[in-house]
Structures are given as C-alpha cells and as structure tokens.
Amino acid sequence: MRLNSPQINLIVKACMKASKSLIRDFGEIENLQVSSKGPGDFVSSADKRTEKIIINELQKAHPDYGFVTEEAGIINKSNEKNKWIIDPIDGTSNFLNGLPQFAISIGYEEEKEIKCGVIFDPIKNEMFLAEKGNGAYLNNSRIRVSNKKKLKDSFLVTGGPKHSSKIKEKIFSEYVDVSKTVHFPIRKFGSAALDIAYVACGRFDGCWHRELSYWDYAAGSIILREAGGFFDFFDEDKSLSSKKNVIATNSMIHRELQDLVIKKDIE
C-alpha cells in the first residue's frame, strides 16, 4: 500500500487504539439489552470514551490542530488550517441494538480540503482508507467503484429520517420514488460512513442521505473520490445550517440519481 502521509498513519494508530475499547464495549451491549436499565446511557459513554481515546492520540502528535467532533464539539477553533473531523461511532442505533454495522470515521482537513480519511469497522476488521492522489484501499487492497451504468440496475443504500427530522415526509416519498425506479430493493444499513465506503469498494453503486453532519461524510468523501466515485451535495439549503444532503455514487449513475432526488426538492 502506498499511503504514507504522517496524518493517515496517525489516524490509523488512533483508530486501532480506540477500537480495542469499542469492541469491549460492544461485547457489553448483549448483557445490557436484557438488563432493566437498557443500554442507552452505556452507549453514550462508549461514544465519549472512544472519542476521547482518538482525540488524546491525535493531540499527542499535534496539540495545535483543530477538531470538529460529534461528542466534544469544536476544539482549537482558532486553527483553521489543520483539522481532524471525528465520528467515534457512526451507526449508533445499530451499536445500541447489538447489530455489528458501525464504524469509527476520521478525516483530516487541511486548508479547507479533506486530504485523507479512514473508516474502520472494528467488528469485521475492515479498514477503508484513502489519501488525496494516492488511491483508496480496503485493508491492503486497492478498491474501485462499480461500473454499473444505469440507475435501474443499481444497488442503492440510503438512511433516515431521524425521529427529530422536520422533512420526514419528503424523505419517505423520495424513498418510494427511487424504489420504483430501481430493480433491487433499496437498503438502509444505518451507518452513512459505511454506506459511502461500500460505494467506494463497489458493494453498492450509489447512496444518498439527507441531513448529514460533517463527521458522517468527511472521511467517506475522500475514500469515494479516490476510488473513482463522485461525491456531491444535492441541496444547498441554508436553513439546514450545518446539515448537508449527500449523494455518493460510482459516478456513472450520478446524474440519473441526482435528477430524481433534486426533482423531489423542487416539488
């Protein structure tokens, strides 16, 4: 593998360290499912614990770098040049319910551009990683997107809506519209980061997700682009504040999928 920036090496190291405690915590979930208290509080502390390990590890190397994290928020705000973007557990609902489909997602941004990223599924021991200009990898093998050309033949994945979403109806009806267009039933796997990584390695041909946060897609965006895919936003509605609507495909079906979901936006 020819990925060798200091930042990607640091991310890999942080992921490996954090995943040890994450795997232990996931093992606890089964016991908690059947306890009267349930796993809710435990999961939120597992989230924080995992993130803390990652932050500590990255800070050891670069105390001055900024962070955009899901749990601890923004750290070192004044550093606009170098930033780590962290989601300690993407796929919390899966984790909470003992379903092994979740990942640590870490991206590195320099001068406002994502330079490298890692998405690590510790249960399947699958590490997706990429560095700008040097390709994308799954563990030690180079990955590429699929070459499916037509939307109707594509295998797609999406997500949401969240319980709190104000655009639930739109998300549901969009799901129906796209479902009517494609032959394979659309999947909802519950981890946007892994969904994008799966497009990058050709397991899916495309995905779209509304209302994502930066940490959900930062690492995925570079992994997909380096695997030959197309990563984009399909709605720049300012009222969404920091949330974005993401479309990630093998690039060949991009236009067709985008036209379908944008159509929904202007209805």
Q: Which residues bind ligand IPD (CB under 6 A)?
A: 87, 89-92, 159-160, 162, 190-192, 209, 211-212, 216
User: Running DSSP on this structure, what letter comes out for residue 238?
Assistant: G
Q: Which does 191 bind (CB under 5 to 8 A by kind): ligand IPD, Ca ion, none?
A: ligand IPD
Interatomic CA distance for residues 44 and 47, integer angstroms: 5
Q: How far is the CB of 105 from ligand IPD (least distance, A)?
A: 8
Q: How far is the CB of 258 from ligand IPD (least distance, A)?
A: 19
| Residue listed under structure tokens 């979901």 | 261
State the binding string over 214-233 for Ca ion (x if CB under 5 A, else -).
--x-----------------
| Residue listed under structure tokens 């609902």 | 93
* Phi, psi (rounded to 5 degrees) for 86: -125, 130
Q: How far is the CB of 3 from ligand IPD (least distance, A)?
A: 24
Per CB under 5 A, 174 contacts Ca ion: no
- Sequence-ordered alpha helix ranges (H) in 132-253: 168-181, 192-200, 214-226
Q: At a CB cut-off of 8 Å and minimum separation 6, what does 20 contact?
A: none
| Residue listed under structure tokens 């994290």 | 69
| Residue listed under structure tokens 């079906």 | 253
Nearer to Ca ion, 86 or 182 (CB): 86
Per CB under 5 A, 90 contacts Ca ion: yes
Nearer to ligand IPD, 154 or 245 (CB): 245
Dihedral sign for Cα atoms in the order 57, 136, 102, 21 = negative
Interatomic CA distance for residues 193 and 129, integer angstroms: 12
Q: How far is the CB of 89 from ligand IPD (least distance, A)?
A: 6
| Residue listed under structure tokens 């606890």 | 28
Q: How far is the CB of 109 from Ca ion (least distance, A)?
A: 17
Nearer to ligand IPD, 223 or 252 (CB): 223
Interatomic CA distance for residues 30 and 108, integer angstroms: 33
Coil/strand/helix, residue 82:
strand
- In one letter, which amino acid is 212? L
Q: How far is the CB of 51 from Ca ion (least distance, A)?
A: 9
Nearer to ligand IPD, 91 or 122 (CB): 91
Q: Which does 209 bind (CB under 5 to 8 A by kind): ligand IPD, Ca ion, none?
A: ligand IPD
Q: Find how far residue 264's CA is from the centre of its chain.
A: 24
Q: How far is the CB of 142 from ligand IPD (least distance, A)?
A: 26
Per CB under 5 A, which region of 38-46, 181-189, 212-220, 225-233 contacts Ca ion?
Answer: 212-220
Instruction: Select the residue whose beta carbon is closest to ligand IPD and give its number.
Output: 159
Q: At a CB cut-off of 8 Å and minimum separation 6, what does 180 contact?
A: none
Per CB under 5 A, which region of 89-97, 120-128, 248-256, 258-266 contacts Ca ion?
Answer: 89-97
Residues that bind Ca ion (CB under 5 A): 70, 87, 89-90, 216
